[in-house]
């Protein structure tokens, strides 16, 4: 039997530490594991006993006995016993699989959920630098690796080793050392060759995996940027780039297949030589009347039983190595510590006046390129403060610092005199709502996307939020109403429609602090006015921080900060800044002349 053409997992230096990572999840079902192991032993005992029944059947039929009904009772009984033992092997194996399957599935569920939660706890920097396709494959391979490792270690490797010990012992006791020696030596040679040949294949397997991950990442990245591909009519360019990755994968798989042929051929040769030697020795002893014909059949059956599971050894060894590496990669994700963490004993944020203060803030994504430089300003509770400036001046970074997606390098961000680095991130973000520049929606219904702002809200509350966001007319125009699917990332909606969904979602969240990060910068004048109306209604009696590109949207702000290269160079209300005749005034005149 040839090895399966199974997708190869990444093969690296074998690391048995992965077992230690899995064991805590398996020991949740200690009794179930114990029963499964009992069934495993019973399966192998029955399997080893089966050739003895076959031997007795052959010897009984081979014996010269009178032809009468009485003498048929013994062989018929043996045949029935053979069938019963073979059935028991299947039953014990099925019970074992069922018992242990629950253990493996629960472990995968627990680990999968833990990884999912952990990924959401990791900082923004990790997610900005990750490759979605590669990360997805790491998770899939890790969970598949756990399943494979448990299934083959418990159901193949361990039972096979147990059977080898039992068979070699039986051959040594019943038929002498030569039979035991040939069996044991052929198995050792087979295992050594399989391990050696598999190690040689490692490079080709790794190349195939790398090409597989690269092509998957390229495909997902291209599909996520579908609109950009269409804008620049680069479908052929993307297809050629994807095909180049697939060509690398194809070449690696060809080399992989050739090396697999060498592995299979060598294994087949060893098996053939071992079987030939054993049967030749048995045939000689049968001809010399030292053995019966049944003994000959028994030895042949034993060799078949031993080499059938071993025939997959190269595949299993490679897959176990890959599984251990993939499990380690999966737990490596769990080992990544978020750069932004709650301090020990962090308290809940308590909101009273909603005053926000940025005190002497310095921040840089890269130490060699400062973004925010010694910045200080205050947003009084219930007021509206806008931040304007050219691209790259650090406006949107302020939003990330307020949400504590990053920790400041120095200085403090305070809300009602509470340092946000000292309170829990959950409580901080619970009190802040945002309407971002680019609203990304889930590939779900319009209703579900608004409901996401507060999953505990009733449908009546959701519909009220939709109405307050001036979405009702649009919803009523849709054939499916609020049950309309918005498409992946909300691509079926226009920019203005998505922004109003974001406003409705924020209304439903009902936060005390509102952030608008260039929420109207990509909209036409009509959509902008509709969004501004909704924003102004939502922002009443709340503290608002507005990052703006169009100055016409923030003329009613209580205070306007003008930023340049990470510093506040001007501040005041609209009239005061115009009177200064400075940077803001020039920006205003430029935008007025282009509108």
Decide if 79 is inside a domain.
yes
Domain's final residue, options 335, 361, 390: 335
Residue 401 has a pLDDT of: 93
Query: Are residues 331 and 355 located together in one domain of the fold?
Result: no
**391 has pLDDT over 50:** yes
Angle between helices 177-224 and 132-152 (to 10 degrees): 160
Same domain, 311 and 361: no
Question: Are 355 and 325 within one domain?
Answer: no
Residues 366 and 417 in one domain: yes
CA atoms within 13 A on the CB side of 577: 28
Residue 69 has pLDDT above 70, yes or no: no
For 345, which DSSP code? Answer: T
Q: Is 498 a domain residue?
A: no
**492 found inside a domain:** no
Residue 572, Ramachandran bin (φ over 0: left; ψ between -120 and 50: alpha; else beta)? left
In contact, 435 and 516? CB cutoff 8 Å: yes
What pLDDT was estimated at residue 130?
Answer: 63
| Phi, psi angle pair for 485, to nearest 5° | -75, 135
Residue 551 belongs to some domain of the structure: no
> Given pLDDT bands bounded at 50, 70 and 90, which one contains residue 2?
very low
Tell whether 307 is covered by a domain: yes
Answer yes or no: do 297 and 407 share one domain: no
Average pLDDT of the segment spanning 488-497: 75
Over range 287-312, report the average pLDDT: 80
Q: Which two tokens stand for residue 93?
A: 């194996």
Same domain, 328 and 359: no
User: Could you tell me if 296 and 424 lie in one domain?
Assistant: no
Cβ neighbours of residue 354 under 8 Å, at least 6 residues apart? 381, 382, 415, 416, 512, 513, 542, 543
Does residue 483 carry a pLDDT above 70?
yes
Burial class of residue 489, CB neighbours in 10 A (0-12, 13-18, 19+):
middle
d(CA 465, CA 483): 16
Give the pLDDT score at 129. 67
369: in domain: yes
pLDDT bin (cut points 50, 70, 90) of residue 1 is: very low
Residue 360 has pLDDT above 90, yes or no: yes
Mean pLDDT for all residues in the chain = 81
Q: What is the average pLDDT across 26-44?
A: 81
Q: What is the 3-state secondary structure (H, E, C) of 546-570?
A: EECCCHHHCCCCCEEEEEECCEEEE
Interval 109-115 mean pLDDT = 83
Structure tokens at 580: 């200064």
State whether 188 and 316 are in the same domain.
Answer: yes
Structural domain harbouring 232 = 17-335
Is 286 within a domain?
yes
CATH number at residue 49: 1.20.1560.10
The answer to whether 528 and 553 have CB atoms below 8 angstroms apart is: yes
Domain endpoint, select from 282, 300, 335: 335
Strand partners, 564: 567
Distance CA 293, CA 290 (A): 10
382 and 325 co-located in one domain: no
pLDDT above 50: residue 7: no
d(Cα 442, Cα 12) in Å, to the nearest integer?
37
Residue pair 275/234 in contact by the 8 Å Cβ criterion: no
Contacts with 47 (C-beta within 8 Å, 6 or more apart), sequence order: 89, 163, 305
Considering the domain architecture, whether residues 411 and 325 belong to the same structural domain is answered as no
Residue 501: pLDDT band with limits 50, 70, 90 = confident
Looking up tokens 């039979």 gives: 179
Question: Which one of 6-10, 185-189, 358-362 scores highest in mean pLDDT?
Answer: 358-362
pLDDT-derived band at 560 (thresholds 50, 70, 90) equals: very high
pLDDT of 113 higher than 90: no
Same domain, 272 and 315: yes
Please report the pLDDT score of residue 64 as a whole number: 54
Q: Is the pLDDT of residue 153 over 80?
A: no
Q: Which of 480, 443, 482, 478 is nearest to 465 (CA)?
A: 482
Could you give the percent of the chain with pLDDT greater than 70?
88
Query: Into how many domains does the chain fold?
Result: 2
Instruction: For residues 227 and 139, state if they share a domain.
Output: yes
**What's the burial of 151, exposed, middle or buried (CB within 10 Å: 0-12/13-18/19+)?**
middle
The alpha carbon of 487 is separated from its chain's Cα centroid by a whole number of angstroms, namely: 23
Distance of CA 7 to the CA centre of its chain: 18
Query: Which CATH number belongs to the domain containing residue 408 in this structure?
Result: 3.40.50.300
Does 305 reside within a domain?
Answer: yes
Distance separating the N- and C-terminal Cα atoms of the chain: 76
- For 456, the 3-state DSSP assignment is coil
- pLDDT per position as a tens digit, 414-431: 999 999 999 999 999 899
Choice among 209-213, 385-389, 527-531 with the minimum mean pLDDT: 527-531
| Pairwise CA distance, residues 114 & 25, whole Å | 11
């Amino acid at each position: 039997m040839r090895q399966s053409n199974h997708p190869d997992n990444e093969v690296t230096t074998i690391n048995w530490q992965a077992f230690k990572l899995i064991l805590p999840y398996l020991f949740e079902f200690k009794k179930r594991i114990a029963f499964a192991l009992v069934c495993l032993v019973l399966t192998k005992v029955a399997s080893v006993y089966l050739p003895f029944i076959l031997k007795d059947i052959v010897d009984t039929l081979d014996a010269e006995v009178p032809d009468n009904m009485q003498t048929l009772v013994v062989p018929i009984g043996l045949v029935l016993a053979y069938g019963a033992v073979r059935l028991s092997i299947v039953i014990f194996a099925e019970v074992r699989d069922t018992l242990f399957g629950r253990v493996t599935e629960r472990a995968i569920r627990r680990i999968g959920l833990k990884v999912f939660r952990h990924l959401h706890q990791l900082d923004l920097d990790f997610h900005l630098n990750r490759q979605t396709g590669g990360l997805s494959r790491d998770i899939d391979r890790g969970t598949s690796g756990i399943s494979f490792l448990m299934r083959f270690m418990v159901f193949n490797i361990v039972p096979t080793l147990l059977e080898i010990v039992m068979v070699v012992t039986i051959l040594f006791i019943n038929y002498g050392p030569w039979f035991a020696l040939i069996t044991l030596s052929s198995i050792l040679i087979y295992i050594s060759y399989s391990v050696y040949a598999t190690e040689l294949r490692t490079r080709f397997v790794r190349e195939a995996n790398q090409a597989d991950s690269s092509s998957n990442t390229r495909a997902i990245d291209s599909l996520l940027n579908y609109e950009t591909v269409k804008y620049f009519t680069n479908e052929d360019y993307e297809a050629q780039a994807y095909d180049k990755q697939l060509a690398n994968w194809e070449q690696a798989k060809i080399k992989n297949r050739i090396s697999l042929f060498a592995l299979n051929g060598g294994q087949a040769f060893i098996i053939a030589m071992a079987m030939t030697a054993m049967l030749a020795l048995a045939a000689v002893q049968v001809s010399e009347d030292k053995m019966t014909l049944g003994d000959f059949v028994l030895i042949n059956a034993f060799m078949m039983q031993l080499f059938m599971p071993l025939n997959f050894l190269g595949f299993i060894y490679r897959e176990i190595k890959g599984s251990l590496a993939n499990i380690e990669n999966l737990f490596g994700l769990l080992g990544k510590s978020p750069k932004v963490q709650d301090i020990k004993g962090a308290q809940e944020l308590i909101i009273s006046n909603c005053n926000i203060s940025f005190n002497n803030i310095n921040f840089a994504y890269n130490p060699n390129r400062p973004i925010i430089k010694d910045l200080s300003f205050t947003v009084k509770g219930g007021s509206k403060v806008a931040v304007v400036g050219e691209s790259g001046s650090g406006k949107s970074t302020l939003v990330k610092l307020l949400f504590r997606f990053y920790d400041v390098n120095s200085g403090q961000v305070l809300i009602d005199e509470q340092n946000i680095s000292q309170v829990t991130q959950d409580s901080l973000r619970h009190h802040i709502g945002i309407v971002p520049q680019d609203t990304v929606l889930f590939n779900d219904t319009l209703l579900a996307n608004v409901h996401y702002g507060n999953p505990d809200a009733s449908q009546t509350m959701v519909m009220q939020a939709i109405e307050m966001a001036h979405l009702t007319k649009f919803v009523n125009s849709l054939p499916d109403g609020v049950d309309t699917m918005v498409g992946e990332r909300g691509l079926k909606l226009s920019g203005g429609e998505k922004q109003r969904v974001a406003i409705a979602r924020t209304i439903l969240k009902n936060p005390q602090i509102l952030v608008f990060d260039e929420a109207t910068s990509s909209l036409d004048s009509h959509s902008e006015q509709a969004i501004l109306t909704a924003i102004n209604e939502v922002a009443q009696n709340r503290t608002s921080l507005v990052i703006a590109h169009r100055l016409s949207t923030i003329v009613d702000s209580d205070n306007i900060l003008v930023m340049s290269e990470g510093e506040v160079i001007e501040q005041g209300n609209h009239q005061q800044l115009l009177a200064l005749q400075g940077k803001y005034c020039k920006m205003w005149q430029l935008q007025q002349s282009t509108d």
